[in-house]
A and B are shown apart, each in its own frame.
Chain A
Amino acid sequence: AQSVTQPDIHITVSEGASLELRCNYSYGATPYLFWYVQSPGQGLQLLLKYFSGDTLVQGIKGFEAEFKRSQSSFNLRKPSVHWSDAAEYFCAVGARGGGNKLTFGTGTQLKVEL
Chain B
Amino acid sequence: EPEVTQTPSHQVTQMGQEVILRCVPISNHLYFYWYRQILGQKVEFLVSFYNNEISEKSEIFDDQFSVERPDGSNFTLKIRSTKLEDSAMYFCASRILAGGPPDTQYFGPGTRLTVL
- In residues 27-58 of chain B, which contact A (Cβ within 8 Å)? 31, 33, 35, 41-45, 48, 50, 55-56, 58
- Assess A102 versus B42: contact at CB under 8 Å? Given A43-B91, A95-B102: no
Most buried by A among B93, B101, B105: B105
On chain A, the residues within 8 Å of B102 by CB distance are 32, 51, 94-96, 100, 102
On chain B, the residues within 8 Å of A92 by CB distance are 43
On chain A, the residues within 8 Å of B104 by CB distance are 34, 46, 49
On chain B, the residues within 8 Å of A99 by CB distance are 31, 33, 48, 50, 55-56
- In residues 78-106 of chain B, which contact A (Cβ within 8 Å)? 91, 93, 95, 101-102, 104-106
Report Cα–Cα, A43/B93, bound state, in Å: 10
- Choose from A44, A96, A100, A106 the contact partner of B107 (Cβ within 8 Å): A44
- In residues 9-42 of chain A, which contact B (Cβ within 8 Å)? 32, 34, 36, 42
Most buried by B among A94, A98, A102, A107: A102
Report Cα–Cα, A52/B100, bound state, in Å: 12
Report Cα–Cα, A92/B4, bound state, in Å: 19
Q: Does B110 contact A (CB under 8 A)?
A: yes
Report Cα–Cα, A94/B58, bound state, in Å: 14
A 82-110 binary contact with B (CB < 8 Å = 1; else 0): 00000000101011101111111111000
Q: Does B25 contact A (CB under 8 A)?
A: no
On chain A, the residues within 8 Å of B91 by CB distance are 43-44
Report Cα–Cα, A33/B101, bound state, in Å: 11
Closest 3 CB pairs of A and B: A99-B48, A100-B102, A99-B55
Which positions in B face A, CB cutoff 8 Å?
A: 4, 31, 33, 35, 41-45, 48, 50, 55-56, 58, 91, 93, 95, 101-102, 104-110
